[in-house]
Amino acid sequence: MNILITGGAGYIGSNIYLSLFNNGYQPIIVDNFSNSDTRRIEELETLTKQHVKYFECDIRDIDAMEEILKSNDIVAVIDAAGYKVTSESVASPLKYYKNNTNGVIDLLIAMQQANVKKIVFSSSASVYGDAKILPVNEESETIPVSPYGTTKLQSEQVIKDLVIADPEWSAISLRYFNPIGMDKSGMLDDYSNNMTNNVYDSIREVLDGKRDHLDIFGNDYDTVDGTPVRDYIHITDLADGHISALNRVIEAKDSFEIFNLGCGNGVTVLELKKIFEDHTKKEIPSVFKGRRAGDAPVSYADITKAEKILGWKPIRTLAGEEMSIE
């Protein structure tokens, strides 16, 4: 069964590719390589020992996307194409609205024209913003605190309205918390980490000697040690969550559902640092910086809905071997 993964050369998209491949699907990639390159395609070919079909295309190119969807017998789309840097979205909101919100609209138009009406959308915990009641579940209030979070909420709304207007559509929005780690081979990492300042990759770089310290953005939050709380989920668990979502969306009609994908545990940045120091028996020097624009103080998920309905459960832990950082 042919499944199109937009943004399939990116960190999450490429890990989804591997999960789909391992579960008997035939994934096909669309990517404009704005935040990735064909090295990731080669890595996927090494891992799967098979040719990887991909198209260099922007999801906002409606005609080209319609043609790709039609000529490849695509059954459903996993949309993981988008920009993701919260602080950048605060500085350059138009860049984010143009690519993320408009990107989803244009992709849906192409899908509608190609009569492919099933989508799994990569949303984000950032839709919840500065949540007052934790953990957040799918019914929690959504008040994003960054343009990035707003683009995800807008995209969900557009998808939802489309399902209401045309019952042939079915859609699932997966709200990812903080994906970290790599697949077993260690190849499919987040190679855009310099820009994102992703804490896990920064820690890796400190341990590898590529950075001399870890920047911690904010130590005056109302948390146990003042640093922000996040819900870190292993990338392979996150990618595997797409299998049951995909099966469900393919079977469904006239349905729009939202699921949190996280671990359900809140961990501060200092706690995360300590876990990796214990794990590697190495010190990770760190420097406190000011709060970063658009960051929520505390964010962790209630994952009961995904466990019950998708039958999915994260199995990898922060202290576990799969999180190996060296």
Ligand X SMILES: NC(=O)c1ccc[n+]([C@@H]2O[C@H](COP(=O)([O-])OP(=O)(O)OC[C@H]3O[C@@H](n4cnc5c(N)ncnc54)[C@H](O)[C@@H]3O)[C@@H](O)[C@H]2O)c1
Q: Which residues belong to the active site? A: 148
Strand 74-79 relative to strand 118-124: parallel, antiparallel, unpaired? parallel
Task: Name the minimum Å distance from CB 125 to ligand X.
Answer: 7
SS (H, E, C) 210-238: CCCCEEEECCCCCCCCCCCEECEEEHHHH
Task: Name the minimum Å distance from CB 37 to ligand X.
Answer: 8
306 binds ligand X (CB under 6 A): no
Question: According to CB under 6 A, which one of 3, 5, 10, 149 is a site residue for ligand X?
Answer: 10
Quote the DSSP letter at residue 108. H
CA 3 – CA 53 distance, rounded (Å): 11
11 binds ligand X (CB under 6 A): yes
Binding window for ligand X (CB under 6 A); candidates: 8-16, 69-77, 217-225, 263-271: 8-16
CA 83 – CA 308 distance, rounded (Å): 30
268 binds ligand X (CB under 6 A): no
Beta bridge partners of 229: 268, 298
Beta bridge partners of 136: 301
Cβ atoms of 16 and 5 closer than 8 Å: yes
9 binds ligand X (CB under 6 A): yes
Question: According to CB under 6 A, which one of 54, 96, 128, 176 is a site residue for ligand X?
Answer: 176
Residue 126 or 268 with smaller CB distance to ligand X: 126
5 binds ligand X (CB under 6 A): no
223 binds ligand X (CB under 6 A): no
Site size toward ligand X, by CB under 6 A:
29
Question: According to CB under 6 A, which one of 32, 140, 170, 173 is a site residue for ligand X?
Answer: 32
89 binds ligand X (CB under 6 A): no
Question: According to CB under 6 A, which one of 122, 142, 154, 299 is a site residue for ligand X?
Answer: 122
Distance of CA 107 to the CA centre of its chain: 18
272 binds ligand X (CB under 6 A): no
Question: According to CB under 6 A, which one of 19, 72, 101, 124 is a site residue for ligand X?
Answer: 124
Cβ atoms of 156 and 173 closer than 8 Å: yes
82 binds ligand X (CB under 6 A): yes
Residues forming contacts to ligand X in the complex (CB under 6 A) are 6-7, 9-13, 31-36, 58-60, 80-82, 84, 99, 103, 122, 124, 176, 178-179, 190, 192
